[in-house]
Amino acid sequence: MKRFQTIVVAAALDYRDATLLEHAALFARAAESNAVYFVHVSPPIDRSEEIGAELLVPWQPIEQDREQELRTSVEAAAGLFPAATQVHCVARTGPLVPELVRLLAQRSADLLILGRRPEEHPDLLSDAAQKLLRKAPCSVLFHDSATRPQYDRILVPVDFSDHSREALEVACAIARSVPTASITVQHVYTVPLGWHKSGRTYEDFSEILRGHAERRWQEFLPTVHTEGVRLNVRFDLGGRTPQTILAAADELDAGLLVLGSHGRTRPAAALLGHVADIVCSRTARPVLCVKKKGEVVNFLHALLQLFELESE
């Protein structure tokens, strides 16, 4: 899994950092990563005149304090990471999403990892999760704050696109690094509106679609490096793809979902599509959203200009 050479971890400086460290270490070991950056972004300080001039002085020490907190947490778990992986701690002050996107671009990151609090106890990082999913110029791993990495059952929804191929390749690489892991590949097919005009029954039409999907799978499978991986495949008839994926994840008690980005031809191809967006927002299970890094390079500067972090 050489693609994840540079990993950025959005540290929260709270209890969820313990599981963040474990997820990051697992990916670093599997990918033999060159570098892992633990980053904490603090909200900007109110420097208005009403607050007083005394708050202008501690701007830099605040970042120094946050960086020291990060170092203390990371050093306690240093043994989890490969000896060859360089671990860095970075503290910044400013608006969360723009600062993280800028750092991802500056470090040419391959993977962003972040933990979310439960819905009843959200925070700034949790609230920004969906924005980071859409705007991050790299793959993104979400996990619930209390969810430790147990990637023994991996679910990979596919639509036989190149993006699905990328997702399945990554899932196979993860599975090879976890001796007990198995992968379930899921294809969701839907009977289109107007099926009755074909002169066939609903059941007949769905069977035709399933047969078509099975043939596409046989053509798709040889294009993916699956050696050494326990692989199962399922074909699910569903009216709503995200809900069908979530139901399969619950049925399998999946420890990880791996989804490919939505393949579009315009620059927005780097933003994940509707299905991944819904799945990520409606499950507490770890979800890895795989993006093709090459697709996002061309619009990095546009993002930075949008956030007014880079001049034209």
Q: What DSSP letter does each residue of 230-259 carry, written as one string?
A: EEEEEEEE-SSHHHHHHHHHHHHT-SEEEE
Cα angle vertex 4, ends 144, 162, to 5°?
A: 90
Q: Which domain holds residue 132?
A: 1-149
> Do 166 and 284 fall into the same domain?
yes
The residues of the chain scoring below 50 in pLDDT are 59, 263-272, 297-312
Q: What is the pLDDT of residue 144?
A: 82
> Do 141 and 254 fall into the same domain?
no
Among 218, 159, 158, 149, smallest CA distance to 181 is for: 149
> Do 140 and 163 fall into the same domain?
no
> Do 117 and 2 fall into the same domain?
yes
Q: What is the pLDDT of residue 205?
A: 81
> Do 5 and 128 fall into the same domain?
yes
> Domain holding 95: CATH number?
3.40.50.620
Q: What is the pLDDT of residue 303?
A: 47
Distance CA 236, CA 239 (A): 10
> Do 137 and 162 fall into the same domain?
no
Q: Does residue 311 fall inside a structural domain?
A: no
Q: Does residue 96 fall inside a structural domain?
A: yes
> Do 160 and 42 fall into the same domain?
no
Distance CA 221, CA 225 (A): 8
**Structural contact between residues 280 and 129, judged by C-beta atoms closer than 8 angstroms:** yes
DSSP string, 195-213: GGGGTS-HHHHHHHHHHHH
> Do 230 and 103 fall into the same domain?
no
> Do 6 and 143 fall into the same domain?
yes
Q: Does residue 299 fall inside a structural domain?
A: no
Q: Does residue 240 fall inside a structural domain?
A: yes
Q: Does residue 304 fall inside a structural domain?
A: no
> Do 204 and 265 fall into the same domain?
yes
Average pLDDT, the chain: 83
DSSP string, 107-167: TT-SEEEEEE--TTS--HHHHTHHHHHHH-SSEEEEEETT----TTEEEEE--SSHHHHHH
Distance CA 41, CA 43 (A): 7
Q: Does residue 305 fall inside a structural domain?
A: no
> 92, 124, 149: which is the final residue of a domain?
149
> Do 163 and 77 fall into the same domain?
no
> Do 209 and 87 fall into the same domain?
no
- φ, ψ of residue 297 in degrees (nearest 5): -60, -40
> What confidence tens digit (pLDDT) does each residue in 197-247 have?
666 777 888 898 999 999 999 999 999 999 999 999 999 998 889 999 999
Domain count within the chain = 2
Residues contacting residue 106 through CB under 8 Å, at least 6 positions apart: none
